A and B are shown apart, each in its own frame.
Chain A
Amino acid sequence: MSMNRRDFLKVTAGTSGGLVLSLSLPGCAGIQTGYDEKRGEWKPDAWLELTADDRVYFTLARVEMGQGTYTGLTTLIAEELEVEPASIQPRFAPVAPEYRNPLYKLQLTGGSTSVATSWQPLRIAGASARIMLVNAAASVWSVSPGDCRAAEGRVVHPNGTDTLSYGRLVELAAKQSVPDDPGLKPRKEWKYIGKSRGRLDAEAKSTGSPIYGIDVDLEGMVYAVVTRPPRYGARVRSFDDTDVRKMAGVLDVFEIERGIAVVADKYWRARKAQDRLTVEWDNSEALDVSSDQVFSSYHKAADEDPGESERSEGDFDNAAENAERLVEAAYEQPYLAHATLEPMNATAWYRNNRIEVWAPTQAPDLGRIAAARVTDLSPDEVTIHTTFLGGGFGRRLTNDYIEEAAAVAFRVGKPVKLIWSREEDTRHDFYRPAMLHRMQASVSDGQLTGWHHQIVGPQILDWYVRNAAPAQYPWAPKFLYDTLGRVGLMAEGIATPKDHSAIEGAIEYPYRVPNLDIRHTHTDPGVPVSWWRSVGFSHNGFAVETFMDELAHELGQDPYQFRRSLIDHEPRHLEVLERAVRLARWEEPAAQGRARGLALFRSFGTYVAQVVEASVDSGEIRVHRVVCAVDCGQVVNPDIVRDQIEGGVIFGLTAALYGDITFKDGQVQQSNFHDYPLMRHDQRPEVVVDIVDSNEEPTGVGEPGVPPVIPALGNALFALTGKRQRRLPLKAQV
C-alpha cells in the first residue's frame, strides 16, 4: 500500500472520545459514463449501456441467487426505458462505489433489500435515458419532444409512422442534457411492472448452461482442496504430506491461514491425495463447546444479566407485580446451516501482480478485501467476477472461501479452482446462531397487561465487521484493517450503527400491550455465526408467535381472535391476518386427525400471515397445507413473489422439522444431507399465496416467508396434541 493512499485516511479522536475516521475520496474506482465513439456505445449512467447496433446492457448490482433480481431489477429499468425486458442483457456488476447497497454502504445483496433500494434509482435511470433518446430523435426530426413517444426500443415520430431505433440515436442522445427530474410513469401505464412474466434466466437454468461459480473453467486451471481444523479456531501444529506428494497429479501442499491446501491437476486427485494427509492441530485456542453447554451457558447468562433494554414501554415490573397471573416460557433454538446446494467454491488467478477471482458471492467488495487480506495485494489489485449463485441465503455474505482460493492462487501462480465438499460445507459454515428466549406475560382480568422478552445469544456483526469495515474504505492501508474491523461500521456514522441481528422481530412487537420490556443478554459461545435467511426474525418469530399462541390458550381465547383483538390498530397486519384466516377456513374444523396453527409476522417491511394445517402420521409430522397472505407493497413480479414466499415456507419448514446443527467437544456432528436433511418433494405441503394489492412502497420477499411458518407449525402441533414444544426442531412425539 503506497503512502499516497494512506494519506486519504486520517485518524482523529472524536468529540465522544471514540475513534473517528474521516476520509476523503480519491478520484477512484468510479464507472466511466458517456459516449464511446470508437465502440459506438453510450453509458448514460452506471447501469445502462446502449450500443449503436441496438443492444441494451444492464449492469446488475444485486446478485442473482434464486431470489429473482436478474428478472425483477431488469424489469424496473425496462419499464421506464421502454424496452422489452427480455431484450436487455443483464451483466453482473464489478466492484465499484456506484453499485453499493445504499442501506449498508457495501456492495452486498441481502436483507431482502434489492427491489426496495432499486425501485426509485433504476426507474429514474431508465427514464432519464429514455428522455435523452426522445430529445435526440426530436432534434433530428425538428419536432417537439413532447409530441414523440418511445416504445419497444424506438422513438416514434409525431406522425405515428416514422421511427428511429435507440441504436441510431445513442451518439446524439449522449449530447442531450440529463433531465433534472424525469417523471416516472403512473401505475396505470406500466407494461411490465406488476405482471407475472417469466424469469429471464429460466432457460439458461433449464439447459445446464455453465453459469455458476463452480462451472468456471480457465486454460491451465488446477484444483485445490483445503483440510480445515475439525474444531473452529484450531491452528496447524505440524503436518506430514509425504504420502500426499506421492499421489498422482499432486502439484503442491502447503499451509494457509485456515488449514492445509492440497493442489492437484484434477479435482478428484486433490480429494484422494487429501486423505493421505496427517495434520496435528494446536487446539489451545480452539472451540470446545457442546450443544447442551451452549444452552446451559445461555440460561446462566440470562440469570446473571437481565440484558440491555432494547424497548421499554410502561412498567412491566409493576404490571407483573400486580398481575393475577404471570405466564412464563423459554424457547431454545439450535444452530442452523445454510446448505446452499452449490457448495462453497471460488476460482482465483494471480498474475502480473494482480489477482482475479471468479466466485458466487453476495458481497463482491468484501470478497476483494478477503483476497487482499491474504496476499500482498491491495484491494484495487483484486478483480472480482461475480457469477450466478447456486443458493445464497446469507452464507455467501462471508467470503472465507474467496480468502482461501486467493491464498492458494497467490502461491501457485496458475488459475486455481477451490471446491468444498458437502461435508466441509456443513461443518465449516457460519451458522444461524443458537438462541434462547425467555418470555413472561402478565395477565389480569382476562387481559394481557405486560410482555417481557429476554433474548439471549450472540450478535452477528461481531463476526462480520472484520472484512465489512475495510470494504467501506478499500483504500485504507491493510495495517488498519483490524482497527477498522473493531470500530466497525460506525466509522462514518452511516451504516448500521446498531446491530439488530439478535433483536429484530422482537423489538417491533406489534400487539397492543401497555407494558413492554424487551431485552438482549449478549453472550457468545464462540461458534462462528452469520446471517441466515431472515436472520433474527427467524428465531424471534418463533418466540413471539409461539408465546402469543400460549397466551391465547392460557386466556381461553381463539388464537386468531386473540391476535385480532390486539392488532386492530395496525391495518396492514390486520389485513393479512384476516385474509389468511379466511382463505384457510379457520372457523371450520380441520379434517379428521389434522389441526391448524397460525402466525402473523412482519419482517423486512413485509407483512405475512400463515395458517399451517398438519397431522402426525406413523410417527412423522405431516404438513398438508400452508396458506400465506402477504403484503409487500407494490409488486414488481407477482409470480416471483409467490415463488419466494413458497420457497421461504419450504425453507422454514425444513428448519422447523429437521434443522439442528449440534456440537460435541467443539466439533459439528452433522456432515451431509443424511444427517442434515432438507425437505423433499414427497414431504412438501400445498402452499397457497395471496398477495395484497397495494400502493405502498415495495418491500422484500426473499426472507419474510420463513419466520411465521415455524411457529405456525408448532402452534398446529399444539392444537393437535395439546403438548407445547419449546425447543426446535419440532418432534412428532414429545
Chain B
Amino acid sequence: MAVRLTVNGIKHTVEVESDTPLLWVIRDELGLKGSKFGCGKGLCGACTIHLNGQPVRSCSTPVEMADGGDVTTIEGLSSDGDLHPLQKAWVEHGVPQCGYCQSGQIMSAAHLLQHNPSPSREDIVAAVSGNLCRCGTYSRIVAAVESVVENQADHSSREEA
C-alpha cells in the first residue's frame, strides 16, 4: 500500500506492505537510522518514536496504523539545528555507554517533558521504565532529565522575575 507519513516535518509517500513495522519504514525506506531495533516486540523501547505526539514502539506498530500520521524521530527532536536540551544534558552527564538504547530513552523523556515540564523523580522513572539499557546507564539518564527540568525551572523563574 501507499502510506503517507510526515516524518520530522517532511511529507513522504512510501510503497510498502501494510504490516511492515513502522521502524523498518523509518530506517530502511527513509534512511533514518537513529531509531533502533532491539526486540521486535515492544519490550525494550530502543525503537521509541513519537506518532501524533504519543511515544510508540515503532518495531511493533504496523505502518498502516501510522498512515497519514505525524512522526518525530530522534533526528527530528530538535528543529532549530541546535541539540535538544535533553541531548545536551545527555552529553554533559556522559550518559551513553554503548549508546544503542539512548535514542529511545531520549524520546521517552522528551515526551514526558512536553506534557509535564516539572516532573518528579518518580514521574521520570515511570516515563523511561519501559526503556531497557543493558549497559546500566539508568542513574545518569535520570540525572540528565532532572538537570533539564531544573534548568527550565531556573529559566522560567528568571523570566517571571
Measuring CB to CB, which residues of chain A are less than 8 angstroms from any residue of chain B? 65-68, 198-199, 201-212, 214-215, 217, 248, 266-269, 272, 339-343, 388-393, 419, 421-423, 639-640, 643-644, 646-651, 672-674, 678-682, 684, 686-687
Whole-angstrom distance between the Cβ of A160 and the nearest chain B Cβ: 35
Chain B, range 91-112, C-beta contacts under 8 Å to A:
91-92, 94-103, 106
Task: List, in ascending order, chain A residues with CB within 8 A of B51's CB.
Answer: none
Which 7 pairs show the lowest CB-CB distances between chains A and B?
A208-B34, A650-B136, A205-B99, A390-B100, A66-B98, A66-B97, A208-B74
Contact at B43–A672, with CB atoms within 8 Å?
yes
Contact at A422–B40, with CB atoms within 8 Å?
yes
Closest to B86 in A: A206
- Distance in angstroms between the alpha carbons of A18 and B92 in the assembled complex: 57
- Distance in angstroms between the alpha carbons of A68 and B83 in the assembled complex: 23
Report 7 cross-chain contacts, Cβ distance below 8 Å, ordered by A residue. A66-B98, A201-B96, A208-B73, A212-B100, A272-B19, A342-B38, A390-B99
Contact at B100–A203, with CB atoms within 8 Å?
no
Contact at B90–A643, with CB atoms within 8 Å?
no
Whole-angstrom distance between the Cβ of B56 and the nearest chain A Cβ: 16
- Distance in angstroms between the alpha carbons of A199 and B136 in the assembled complex: 16
Contact at A680–B136, with CB atoms within 8 Å?
no
Contact at B141–A681, with CB atoms within 8 Å?
yes
Contact at B38–A684, with CB atoms within 8 Å?
no
Task: List, in ascending order, chain B residues with CB within 8 A of A678's CB.
Answer: 44, 132-134
Contact at B32–A208, with CB atoms within 8 Å?
yes
Select B17's contact among A202, A248, A684, beta carbons within 8 Å: A248
Closest to B41 in A: A672
Contact at A341–B38, with CB atoms within 8 Å?
yes
Contact at A198–B39, with CB atoms within 8 Å?
no
Whole-angstrom distance between the Cβ of B27 and the nearest chain A Cβ: 8
Contact at A681–B100, with CB atoms within 8 Å?
no
- Distance in angstroms between the alpha carbons of A68 and B37 in the assembled complex: 23
Contact at A208–B46, with CB atoms within 8 Å?
no
Task: List, in ascending order, chain A residues with CB within 8 A of B99's CB.
Answer: 66, 201, 204-206, 211, 388, 390
Task: List 16 extra interface pairs beyond A206-B91, A207-B87, A422-B43, CB under 8 A.
Answer: A201-B96, A202-B90, A205-B96, A206-B87, A207-B34, A207-B83, A208-B33, A339-B134, A340-B134, A390-B36, A419-B37, A422-B44, A423-B40, A651-B136, A672-B41, A674-B41
Closest to A207 in B: B87
Interface of B is mostly: loop
Task: List, in ascending order, chain B residues with CB within 8 A of A67's CB.
Answer: 97
Select B98's contact among A65, A209, A267, beta carbons within 8 Å: A65
Task: List, in ascending order, chain A residues with CB within 8 A of B138's CB.
Answer: 650, 680-681, 684
Contact at B38–A343, with CB atoms within 8 Å?
yes
Contact at B91–A674, with CB atoms within 8 Å?
no
- Distance in angstroms between the alpha carbons of A420 and B129 in the assembled complex: 25
Task: List, in ascending order, chain A residues with CB within 8 A of B98's CB.
Answer: 65-66, 340-342, 388-392
Closest to B88 in A: A206
Contact at A206–B132, with CB atoms within 8 Å?
no
Task: List, in ascending order, chain A residues with CB within 8 A of B102's CB.
Answer: 205-206
Task: List, in ascending order, chain A residues with CB within 8 A of B90's CB.
Answer: 202, 205-206
Whole-angstrom distance between the Cβ of B8 and the nearest chain A Cβ: 11
Kindly state whether residue B151 has any CB partner on chain A within 8 Å. no
Task: List, in ascending order, chain B residues with CB within 8 A of A205's CB.
Answer: 90, 96, 99, 102
Kindly state whether residue B126 has any CB partner on chain A within 8 Å. yes
Task: List, in ascending order, chain A residues with CB within 8 A of B97's CB.
Answer: 66-68, 643-644, 647
Q: With A268-B24, A388-B99, A678-B132 known to touch, is A206 a contact of B94 (CB < 8 Å)?
A: no
Task: List, in ascending order, chain A residues with CB within 8 A of B132's CB.
Answer: 341, 673, 678, 680
Task: List, in ascending order, chain A residues with CB within 8 A of B133's CB.
Answer: 341, 650, 678
Whole-angstrom distance between the Cβ of B49 and the nearest chain A Cβ: 10
Whole-angstrom distance between the Cβ of B42 and the nearest chain A Cβ: 10
Closest to A420 in B: B37
Kindly state whether residue B1 has any CB partner on chain A within 8 Å. no
Contact at B129–A682, with CB atoms within 8 Å?
yes
Whole-angstrom distance between the Cβ of A641 and the nearest chain B Cβ: 12
Contact at A217–B95, with CB atoms within 8 Å?
no
Task: List, in ascending order, chain A residues with CB within 8 A of B114's CB.
Answer: none
Task: List, in ascending order, chain A residues with CB within 8 A of B75's CB.
Answer: 207-208
Contact at B39–A680, with CB atoms within 8 Å?
no
Task: List, in ascending order, chain B residues with CB within 8 A of A267's CB.
Answer: 24, 28
Whole-angstrom distance between the Cβ of A631 and the nearest chain B Cβ: 21
Contact at B103–A208, with CB atoms within 8 Å?
yes
Q: With A206-B91, A209-B34, A267-B28 known to touch, is A646 a contact of B39 (CB < 8 Å)?
A: no
Kindly state whether residue B58 has any CB partner on chain A within 8 Å. no
Task: List, in ascending order, chain B residues with CB within 8 A of A341's CB.
Answer: 36, 38, 44, 46, 98, 100-101, 132-134
Task: List, in ascending order, chain A residues with CB within 8 A of B2's CB.
Answer: none
Task: List, in ascending order, chain A residues with CB within 8 A of B139's CB.
Answer: 646, 684, 686-687
Task: List, in ascending order, chain A residues with CB within 8 A of B152's CB.
Answer: none
- Distance in angstroms between the alpha carbons of A66 and B133 in the assembled complex: 11
- Distance in angstroms between the alpha carbons of A474 and B119 in the assembled complex: 57
Task: List, in ascending order, chain B residues with CB within 8 A of A674's CB.
Answer: 41, 43
Contact at B44–A673, with CB atoms within 8 Å?
yes
Task: List, in ascending order, chain A residues with CB within 8 A of B44's CB.
Answer: 341, 422, 673, 678
Task: List, in ascending order, chain A residues with CB within 8 A of B94's CB.
Answer: 198-199, 202, 639-640, 643
Task: List, in ascending order, chain B residues with CB within 8 A of A421's CB.
Answer: 40
Centre residue among B46, B91, B95 by max chain A CB count within 10 A = B91
Task: List, in ascending order, chain A residues with CB within 8 A of B135's CB.
Answer: 66, 391, 647, 650-651
Centre residue among A343, A389, A649 by max chain B CB count within 10 A = A343
Contact at A215–B33, with CB atoms within 8 Å?
yes
Kindly state whether residue B5 has any CB partner on chain A within 8 Å. no
Whole-angstrom distance between the Cβ of A338 and the nearest chain B Cβ: 9
Kindly state whether residue B55 has any CB partner on chain A within 8 Å. no
